[in-house]
Structure 1
Amino acid sequence: MKFSVLFGREVSTWSNEWQHECEVRYLAGMKLADRNEVLDGVKDGSKGIKGHRGDKAVAYLRAEIDRYAALKAKAG
Structure 2
Amino acid sequence: MGTSLTPEFWRQFAVLLVIAMAVTFVLSAALDALYLRRQQRRAERSSPGTPPAATTTPGTRPAAGRPLVKS
TM-score by length of 2: 0.33
Larger Rg: 2
Q: Which has the higher helix share?
A: 1
Q: Which has the higher strand share?
A: 1
Higher relative contact order (CA 8 A, sep 6+): 1
TM-score by length of 1: 0.31
